[in-house]
Structures are given as C-alpha cells and as structure tokens.
A and B are shown apart, each in its own frame.
Chain A
Amino acid sequence: MYTEKTIRESIKGNARAQRKLFDAHSGKMLTVCKRYLKNAHDAEDAFIHGFNKVFQKLDTFEYRGKDSLAKWITTIMINECLMMLRKQLRMEKIEDIQSAEIAVRDTNPTDTDYIYALILNLPLGYRTVFNLHAIEGYSHKEIAHKMGISEGTSKSQLSKARQLLQSRLKDLKRDYGT
C-alpha cells in the first residue's frame, strides 16, 4: 500500500517511494503486457520501458479517485505494448488458431482461467483489438488511430475474436466437462 506522500516522493526521485509504487502495481502491469504481447521477453521489455515512463511523467498525473493511478499506469503500459506491436503486427489467418496451444489449469478450471488463456492465444491482430475494445474500452475510432488500421478492420477483427473465443470456450467446457 502507498499514500499520496509516496507519489510525491516518487516524483522527487526517491528510490524507496518509487519501489513502493512499483511493488503495488508491477504484478498487474506485467500481466497486462503479457496479455498484449504474449512473448515473455517482449512483455518484460514493454513493462520496463513503461515503468520508466511512469516515473518520468508522474509529475503530470492528476489524482481522480481510487484506482486512478492504476488506470493511468495501465494506459502507459498499453501504449508501450502497442508501440512494440506496431513493429510486428500482422493479421494472422484464422486457421492458425487451430494449432495454438491452450494453457488451462488442470484442476478445477474456472471460466476466468479459460477466457484468459483463450485471449492470450488469439492471433495477434484479434487479440490486440479485443484487448483494446472489450477489456480497455477504447472505441473503434481510437483503436484505428492507435493501430494504424481502418475502423472497419477494427470492427471485423473484434467480431472474429469474439466468435473464436466463444467457440473455443464452448469446446473447452465440453472437453473438461464443466
């Protein structure tokens, strides 16, 4: 846990205060990066650059209630992930999904475990658009601007992502008997 004083000290460059902020948000933020980038090394790179930007720009942060800092940091992390993705983004064919591994816990998997693993295993384009729209709440116009695609492509990718997720979810539930 941290206080407003921790944020103020972090802005001044106090290493201990910055570490407190880091510890409070690092678990979630690395998971966010992995949700976008999947590859562990890429996710770590984006995470590290993201936190550097967090500390550089912390003096511009405006407190707007509980969780406002977490949301602000998440936005920075997503932007880092998208920058990395712009270098490697390619629209994979739907057929590629069939061979993707699904990592699901063996013991009593819940729907949240299923859906999380399925999102991670979406093709890159589907995953990015689904993450930005369904999870983060960006509009298709905003997604198009961020990813350098058309709004139509964004909508199409989202629709395909939903279809694939629901289809795979149904299959998994059937396979695991839940």
Chain B
Amino acid sequence: MEPKEFDKWAREAVEQREDRAQLEAGYADTLWKQVREHQPKTYVDFWRAAAIILLFLGAAMAWYSTGLHADQNALYAQLQQANRQLRELAIETTEAKAMEASPVLIPEKEIVLVHDTIVQEIVKERIVYIDQPVQTASPTINADSLIAIIEEQQAALEQLETYAQVDEPKAYMSSFNVVFDNQETQTTKATSPKKEGGLRLNVSLFNKK
C-alpha cells in the first residue's frame, strides 16, 4: 500500500474507533470529579457553596438551640421559662387571645439581633403584647410580679450574652420605670427606656378596681 494511502486508511480506522468510544458511567463520574478538583476556584459552583454555607449556619443555629454547652442550656431554659410565665399572664382574657391571633410586629429598627435563635424566641413571645394593653382579671397580678419576671429574663439574657461572647450589636432590657395610673382602671406599666441599639419592651396591665 502506498504510504499516503496507508495513512488515510489508518486515520479512518482510528477515527471510527475513537468516535464510538464511551466511558462507563462510574468511571466517567470518577474522572469528572478529578477534573472539578483541579479546576481553579473561579469555577466553584455558587449554589454548592451557598448550600454548604447554609448547612453550616443551620448546624451553628442547631448547636446553639440544642446547646452543646450545659451552662448555655440551663440559661436558655431559664429564659424560656420566664418567657412562658409572661405569656401566661397575658393570655387570661379574651382580649389577650384576640391579640394573640393578630400579633403586632415590632418595627425592624428596634430589633437588634445578638443571638438569632434566642432573640427571635424573645421577640416571638412578646409580639402579642408589646405596646398593647393586656387585661387580666387577676387582682394579684401587679407591676412587681411583672417586673420580677422581666428582670429575671434580663439577667438570663445578659448571662447568655457574656457566655456567648457576643459583640455589638447587643439587645438588652434595662431597668424599668413603673407608672401607676389612678384612673378607673389601674394601669400598671412597665416600660424599658429605649437605649441606642436596644430592644424596647412595653408591657401594660390593666387591672380593674
């Protein structure tokens, strides 16, 4: 066979063979992974990275909420209990229940998140009655009881903040001014002064004389 004829024949034979070459699925996957591993970082899959970041955040939030630290667990349990007590005080009248059905949202500018999970819990618990009057038939509920619960929550939160070593911004509840109204309905208010970057809490109890 003439050289050029031989070359042509060999070329066609090789092309036939190579055009029909296929990799087995598993082998193709293995090679593809190696190609991806060697690619420059500019080709990183954005969604994969986002999924990894979200997983990490979710794991971090789960870690905080479930509490791998025993002390944090105890403090957070204390905070939750205080929240529940406050909520129970509010949910004693039909009006309170009506408010629960249509919660009032706190303006965003007043919310400063320190520790997402815990603060969201606090905010969620208080949404019903912030800046809204709450009527209760119980004569034993007074400002002192209310303040005691709030201060307990405040102390728990501050301890958590210290423990978590959270930097600014911080959410806190400071001391309260108690105002007694001498009108027909005795109004007990407990209001925390609004400090810069702080979470304002207003709770009012109307006690019928």
Partner of A49, one of B7, B21, B38, B42: B38
Tell whether, in the assembled complex, residue A22 and residue B21 are in contact, meaning their CB atoms are under 8 Å apart.
Answer: no
| B interface size (C-beta, 8 A) | 30
**Which A residues touch B39, using CB under 8 A?**
52, 55
A116-B23 contact, Cβ under 8 Å, with A162-B6, A166-B6: no
Chain B nearest CB from A48 CB (Å) reads 5
Question: Which stretch from A27-35, A79-87, A96-104, A139-147 is at the chain B interface?
Answer: A27-35
Q: Is the interface of B mostly helix, strand, loop or mixed?
A: helix
**Which B residues touch A165, using CB under 8 A?**
6, 10
Question: Which stretch from B12-20, B105-113, B177-185 is at the chain A interface?
Answer: B12-20
Tell whether, in the assembled complex, residue A27 and residue B21 are in contact, meaning their CB atoms are under 8 Å apart.
Answer: yes
**Which A residues touch B9, using CB under 8 A?**
111, 115
A28-B21 contact, Cβ under 8 Å, with A112-B16, A116-B13, A135-B11: yes
Chain A-chain B contacts (Cβ-Cβ < 8 Å), number: 82
**Which A residues touch B36, using CB under 8 A?**
15
Tell whether, in the assembled complex, residue A27 and residue B23 are in contact, meaning their CB atoms are under 8 Å apart.
Answer: yes
B28 interface residue per 8 A CB criterion: yes
Among A13, A130, A159, the most chain B Cβ lie within 10 Å of the Cβ of A13
Q: Is the interface of A mostly helix, strand, loop or mixed?
A: helix
Q: How far is the CA of A119 from the CA of B15 in the complex (A)?
A: 13
A window 105-136: CB within 8 A of B? 111-113, 115-116, 119, 130, 133-135
**Which A residues touch B34, using CB under 8 A?**
44, 48
A26 interface residue per 8 A CB criterion: yes
A8 interface residue per 8 A CB criterion: no
**Which A residues touch B19, using CB under 8 A?**
28
Q: Which residues of B does A touch, CB under 8 Å? A: 1, 3, 6-7, 9-11, 13-14, 16-19, 21-23, 28, 31-32, 34-36, 38-40, 42-45, 48
Chain A to chain B: the 3 pairs with minimum beta-carbon distance, closest first: A134-B7, A112-B13, A27-B21
